[in-house]
Amino acid sequence: MLRYGLGDERYVNPETNLRSYTHNDELLFGREASIEFFMSSFHACWIRATILKDPEGAYREACESIREANKARKGFEIQETADGCEMGSSLGPPFFSADLSLPDERQVIDITEHR
């Protein structure tokens, strides 16, 4: 929130108290994107980014960037899926996972971390 501010859209789930902040018209990997932060216990526990322009190019860049940033994590693994790839480490805490997919001509990146 220090970098992106409060968000264009805000929502609090009354049952779980999970807060979400959506930032529209952001740049990610040089492309227009929306970024949604889900907050729990004062930290982002889940980030979802959606890129609509050149999703296949964004997919390649995102895979390489996330792989480079996390390759030193203990137990870090990469697995190809039918619509993209999953990366993560089940050794922790913190536990980390990134799911990159290309559904419906858009790039979706879900990153979660559990402490």
Does 2 have pLDDT greater than 70?
Answer: no
> Model confidence over 82-114: pLDDT tens digits?
888 999 998 878 888 999 998 888 889 898 887
Contact between 78 and 71 under an 8 Å Cβ cutoff? The reply is no
> Model confidence over 27-86: pLDDT tens digits?
988 899 999 999 887 778 889 999 988 888 889 899 999 999 988 888 899 998 888 899
Q: What is the structure's pLDDT at 39?
A: 86
> Model confidence over 42-53: pLDDT tens digits?
778 889 999 988
The torsion defined by the Cα of 96, 102, 106 and 110, in degrees rounded to 10, comes to -10
The Cα 70–Cα 56 span in angstroms is 21
Beta bridge partners of 90: none
Q: Identify the H or E element spanning 57.
A: helix 55-70
How buried is 2 (Cβ within 10 angstroms: 0-12 exposed, 13-18 middle, 19+ buried)? exposed
Per-residue pLDDT band for 1 (boundaries 50, 70, 90) equals low
Can you tell me which residue has the tokens 């889900």?
Answer: 38
Per-residue pLDDT band for 5 (boundaries 50, 70, 90) equals confident
Can you tell me which residue has the tokens 């996390």?
Answer: 70
The Cα 77–Cα 74 span in angstroms is 9
